[in-house]
Amino acid sequence: MRIPAFLLAVILLISFFSCNKGDSDANLIAEAGPDTTAQIGDTVSLDATSSFGRDYDLIWNITSQPAGDTVLFAETDSAFFIPSLNGTYSLKLRISKGNEWDEDFMTVIVAGAFPLHGTISNDTILGRVNTGDEADYVVTSDLTIAATLDIIPGVIIEFLDGTGLIISETGQMEIENITFRTAANKWKGIHLKGPRTVMVNCLIQDGGSASYTAEVTENANILLSGSAVASFSGNTFESSGGFGMVVKDNAVFRPDIVSATPALSNNKFISNLSGPMLIPAGVLSRLTSPDLSAETENTYVVIYESTYASGEASEAVMSDFGLPYKLTGLVRFNKSLTVLPGSEVYFTRTAGMIVTGNFNIIGSSFNQVVIDGLTGSSGAWNGIYVKSGNTLITYASILNAGYRALDGLTDAAALTVEGTITMQNSEVSGSSGMGIYLKDNAYIQYADNFSGNTLQNNATSAIRLGFDDVHKVLQNNTISTYSSSAPAIEVRDGRNDNLETWTNLDAEIDYLIIEDVTLLTTKSMSIESGSNLRFASGALFSILGSLDASGVTFSGAEQTAGYWEGISISSDNQVTINNCIIRDGGGSATDKANLVIQPSAVSVSLSNSSIINSAGYGVLIKAGASGFSINEPASNNTLEGETGGYFDEN
């Protein structure tokens, strides 16, 4: 028999109510409570106490959800569940007594970030719990990782003000495309202390609210300290309250073999308050192609007092990354150092550089190198000392050094060199000591190796160099004095090399000879008219070779009789002294005279000259030596001394 459609509908409706309410629906009424909201990790209590009935049984179930969570104590008045993912949870309450039952439903919408704090001691994976640009996790107090932490790409972690993430000495982290950002203002940043951290294409933003170290100036988005080992590639360090990155202690960057991540390459630094990085010198060996184009103006790549170790696989390089370097202490390079075109390097007052190896500054006419003190005033930093290596400098300015002598030196200078030096089209000025000091066996190989340079306004002297190197700097360079009391050139004893011609530099003191010097038997020397040579206390000028001096003044650095020993001539070559002044000598303990003619002298011409203010004789002729008519009226010489103008032991 066919049942009419309307009758079938009535039967189904009756059946539906019968299933929901049991045989007597008035005796049991389930009340699951109102819909609500929660966050991941919250304890969501389930309350059935508003249900109607007596002595019934109850059970809670999750009927739909974004995760695989369950209700705990589902058959008691203490039922609850803890949502693990964001989304909509539908729950059903069923109460029953005998054949009677009733059901009610509630919805819990879970949204927001999962809170993190304390210490993660077990290996953990953090996955996405939100969609879009919403944070997946929020760090509510410092979070320490003491195990292995993996984070699924795309995760966003936010930090409450003043909180931070610490990867401890036992922690490790390998992450890619993760965002670390503030939940409000600024957070503390990430502190890496563990043996392996790999970060690729991550964003670290708005950290640096405080320092993890004892130094309040070391705030950073990310800090490496202790014996941390890390590999960073393609990351962005943005808007730190301090530096983008700080590296301390024995922390290092090292290519990661497992992930094939380079040590420190292609990272970007944007608008960090103190600048991109505070690093030791050793990080330079790992630094590859950083993008500093959007970094805060007037900031620096800061290198603090540290050493570039001799064990580094590659030589040190300072490249032009678009921001200058700032050195805040004595930085030692125990390997050769090259400074590339366009680089700018600035030093704080007590800072300087010691290079044990070759030192190369490779500027260009369109892209010069600038090395200066931060204040830009004379004596603003210590200087550069190149030990056990050669120096090559082109198109560079070394300015305002000479504050104090560097370790191992007794004299301050902008540039001290122990090996050979080649310097072209460069400037050294503003030193409160010497401009350039060619120490011990340092030398200029050829005159062409030193040309196009300007040495000026250096307080002690423009340059101190060997006796036989003087002529190599006198052509095609501009050399001037700081004051009338400062010499243009200081001269020490040199190598066995040619001397050629010394020129008149138009200074009150053209040359200050600071120690005994010797014109060797096989060498010749000319001194241009108007040149002024002064000699340091106790210095002796020994002439064994050929000398031609006309219109030259030889005097003590102080015009006091006996201040220096004087000139001793022992040459079998021609020595011509005409229209000259020799004064203030005679300081020897034995042969006391401005000019001593030794028995081995062969040909000496002394004429039209004043030999005066000697502590002994003006001229002393040793036994066996010729007088060369020095005291004859025709020679037109003026000879004066405290013990006499002229004495011939013969």
Residue-wise pLDDT tens digits, 530-589: 999 999 999 999 999 999 999 999 999 999 999 999 999 999 999 999 999 999 999 999
pLDDT of residue 40 exceeding 90, the answer is no
Helix, strand, coil tally for the chain in percent (to 5): 5, 45, 50
Q: What is the pTM of this model?
A: 0.87
Residue 158 vs residues 135, 207, 272, 336, 346: alpha-carbon distances, Å: 6, 11, 19, 44, 37
Q: For the sheet containing 500-502, what is the strand order?
A: 500-502, 524-527, 546-550, 574-578, 603-607
Q: Cα separation of 226 and 248, whole Å?
A: 7
Q: Cα separation of 336 and 392, whole Å?
A: 11
| Section 37-47 average pLDDT | 92
| Section 193-222 average pLDDT | 96
* H or E, element range at 569: strand 566-569
Q: Is 54 helix (H, G, I), strand (E, B) or coil?
A: coil
Q: Cα separation of 175 and 244, whole Å?
A: 18
Q: Cα separation of 302 and 323, whole Å?
A: 10
Six-digit token string for 569 = 């001539």
pLDDT of residue 629 exceeding 80, the answer is yes
* H or E, element range at 6: helix 5-21
Q: Please, are residues 74 and 93 in contact by the beta-carbon 8 Å criterion?
A: no
- From the CB of residue 509, how many other CB atoms can be counted at a distance below 10 Å? 22
Residue 2: pLDDT band (50, 70, 90) is: very low
| Section 341-351 average pLDDT | 98
Q: Cα separation of 67 and 326, whole Å?
A: 53
Q: Please, are residues 109 and 64 in contact by the beta-carbon 8 Å criterion?
A: no
Q: Cα separation of 95 and 578, whole Å?
A: 129
Q: Cα separation of 342 and 321, whole Å?
A: 9
Residue 243: pLDDT band (50, 70, 90) is: very high
pLDDT of residue 6 exceeding 80, the answer is no
Q: Cα separation of 103 and 1, whole Å?
A: 36
Q: Please, are residues 552 and 531 in contact by the beta-carbon 8 Å criterion?
A: yes
Instruction: State which amino acid sits at residue 239.
Output: S
- Looking at the DSSP bridge assignments, the partners of residue 108 are 36, 89
DSSP class of 285: G
Q: Is 284 helix (H, G, I), strand (E, B) or coil?
A: helix
| Section 499-507 average pLDDT | 96
pLDDT of residue 17 exceeding 50, the answer is no
Residue 14: pLDDT band (50, 70, 90) is: very low
Note the pLDDT of residue 252.
97
DSSP class of 322: S
pLDDT of residue 343 exceeding 70, the answer is yes
| Section 210-231 average pLDDT | 96
Six-digit token string for 478 = 């501009």
DSSP class of 296: P
The HSE-up count of residue 528 (CA atoms within 13 Å, CB side) is 13
Q: Cα separation of 370 and 360, whole Å?
A: 13
Q: Cα separation of 245 and 393, whole Å?
A: 32
Residues comprising the chain, all counted:
650
Q: Please, are residues 162 and 184 in contact by the beta-carbon 8 Å criterion?
A: no
Residue whose entry in the numeric block shows the structure tokens 């497992």: 258
Measure CA 211 to chain center.
20
Six-digit token string for 354 = 């010691």
Pairing of the two strands 524-527 and 546-550: parallel
Q: Cα separation of 246 and 232, whole Å?
A: 13
Residue 13: pLDDT band (50, 70, 90) is: very low
445-495 per-position pLDDT tens digit: 999 999 999 999 999 999 999 999 999 999 999 999 999 999 999 999 988
Provide CB contacts within 8 A for 424, sequence distance 6+.
Answer: 393, 394, 395, 449, 450, 451, 452, 453
User: Could you give the percent of the chain with pLDDT greater than 70?
Assistant: 96
pLDDT of residue 129 exceeding 90, the answer is no
Note the pLDDT of residue 581.
98
Provide CB contacts within 8 A for 438, sequence distance 6+.
Answer: 417, 421, 444, 463, 464, 465, 466, 469
pLDDT, mean over the chain: 94
Residue 390: pLDDT band (50, 70, 90) is: very high
Residue 251: pLDDT band (50, 70, 90) is: very high
User: Could you give the percent of the chain with pLDDT greater than 90?
Assistant: 91
pLDDT of residue 16 exceeding 80, the answer is no
Burial class of residue 7 in the structure, from the number of CB atoms within 10 Å of its CB (0-12 exposed, 13-18 middle, 19+ buried):
exposed
| Section 164-170 average pLDDT | 98
Q: Cα separation of 280 and 312, whole Å?
A: 13
pLDDT of residue 11 exceeding 70, the answer is no
Q: Cα separation of 152 and 77, whole Å?
A: 38
* CA proximity to 87, closest of 66, 105, 69: 66
| Section 353-381 average pLDDT | 97
262-282 per-position pLDDT tens digit: 999 999 999 999 999 999 999
Note the pLDDT of residue 593.
98
Residue 26: pLDDT band (50, 70, 90) is: low
Residue 130: pLDDT band (50, 70, 90) is: confident
pLDDT of residue 24 exceeding 80, the answer is no
pLDDT of residue 434 exceeding 80, the answer is yes
Q: Cα separation of 463 and 436, whole Å?
A: 5
